[in-house]
Every structure is written in structure tokens, then in C-alpha cells.
Amino acid sequence: MTPWVPTEDEEAEEIALRRLYGEWDALDPAGVVDFMAGYPGEWWIVGGWAIEAYTGIPRRHEDIDLVIWRRDLPLMRELVGDRHHVWSAGSGTIRPLNDDWPEPHEQAGQVWLRDHAVAPWFLDCILSEDVDGQWLSRRDPEHVAPLADVTWVADDGIRYMLPEVVLHHKARLLRPKDTADLVTTWPLLSREAREWLRGAVRKERADHPWLDDPMGT
């Protein structure tokens, strides 16, 4: 399997984002385990690292996407304490999360962490909504499920989002790396997972390119 190689446009976009917001030196999953030691709430990993964990095929990573419940953000702030700076991020806006601004800004769907103003960001922490304690999809408001039904636990004890759910999230973006993740993962999915992913993508966009290749096969 040929690994995903960023296109010139993707490289340019990454450079532009780093020039605007600063450099990244993201943790890997093992680093997240160390960082989250002592955290009393639930957490899991999504995105490219979840795809790699499922397929066993290495891929390039710009960052790592850790997820916690939005309701548990105070627990994360307690864990971090004054060791790191926490910023709320979303819709092109970042703002410190501190005593002056104790809540994320209205468009914030995640928080970023770094040591100080000239240090690289090392963690992107996504804030997941819930409905009566159950996971709520960002892509489909009708998709509500127990966390255990949309995640799996690897041999190393790390909880990851199921690959078909990760791919559903990626389908809207349609970046080359997302299609590469689909091509890598599709042969390894169960028939039930394939059928669910087809249906979820079709529900959102009936003419989605993924429905023809490779999901149409």
C-alpha cells in the first residue's frame, strides 16, 4: 500500500496555518497516554492516528486528535493546571482559556495546548457533545450512541474511534489524505461497517465521489 504523500496544495495549506497560528510538535498516542495519566474522565483518539491504529499501516501525521466530553473540560483544566497554556479554537479564532475567559468561545469545538507563547502546540483536544451521556455525531445529529458502540480499545489500552466513523467525518472534507485513508481502510472493514459507511455518506450527500470508488465496489 502506497502511503499518503501530501500534495503541493496540502503542503502550502499546512505552511500557511503554521505561519498564522504557530508551529506544531504533536504528541503521539503513547505521549497522550502519559499526558492523560490521572485524568478521571473518558477520552479517546480520532482522525489519522485512529486509522493507523486500525490498519497497522503507518501514515504521516500533522497532529493528534484527542477527544474528551465537552462537559469534562473542567477536568482537563484541573489536569493541566498551570503547567501549560490552553486556548479555545474554532472557526479561525483562538482565545486563551484562563481565569479571564473560563469558557471556550462560542465557535470553539476544541482546545489547543502549548507550554508558552513561543512553544509549539502539542495537543489538539476536541470537545465532544453528548445527549444524556451518549456520544453525538458532529456529522449527523440523529446519530446518538453509547461511546462503546462507536469506539474500540487497542491492545495497548488506548480507545480509538471506529474507522468507519472516522471516515464518515472525513468524507465531508474530501482532502487527498482522507481519500487515501479510505482506500487503505476499506478492504479491512467488515461488511456491516461498509454498509453503514455507505449509508451515512449517502445520507449526507447522495452524489459523493466515494460512493462510486471505492465504496461502490
- Nearest-angstrom CA–CA distance, 205 and 208: 5
Buried b (16+ CB within 10 A) or exposed e, 68-81: bbbebbebbeebbe
Q: Whose grid coordinates read 486556548? A: 87
Cα–Cα–Cα angle for 117, 105, 19, rounded to 5 degrees: 40
Which pLDDT score, from 0 to 100, does residue 22 have? Answer: 87
Class of domain 8-167: alpha beta
Pairing of strands 121-128, 65-69: parallel
pLDDT tens figures, 100-133: 999 999 999 999 999 999 999 999 999 999 999 9
Inform me whether the pLDDT recorded for 2 exceeds 70: no
Give, in order, the Cα–Cα distances in Å from 70 to each of 4, 24, 41, 152: 32, 23, 11, 20
Cell of 130: 453528548
pLDDT in tens, 33-47: 999 999 999 999 999
Q: Mean pLDDT over residues 1-30, rounded? A: 80
